Amino acid sequence: MAIVYARLNDADHAFEWMAKAREQHAEGVVYLKAQPYFDNLRSDPRREVFLERIGLQKNGCDRPLIPVNSP
């Protein structure tokens, strides 16, 4: 549900559902930094607080770099 609300630009409900997912130890929460569905939440200060709570502090790169055609 967090993805749905994030895509609808309803940050309040998106963060509410992200908190519920965290409480339930949902595995998808760890992809918050990489999923483009949450791009519109990047400027919201609650995002950084949430990332810290789940152990994904900002480290300068929000999306993992995946090498193309790596050996």
18-71 residue pLDDT tens? 999 999 988 888 888 888 899 999 899 999 899 888 887 766 555 554 555 545
pTM (two decimals): 0.74
Q: How many domains does the chain have?
A: 1
The reply to whether 63 falls in a domain is: no
What is the full DSSP assignment across 16-59?
Answer: HHHHHHHHTT-GGGGGTTT-GGGGGGTT-HHHHHHHHHTT----
What is the greatest pairwise CA distance in the chain? 43
Q: Which residue has the higher pLDDT, 63 or 1?
A: 1
Residue 64 lies in a domain: no
59, part of any domain = no
What is the domain range of residue 49?
Answer: 2-53
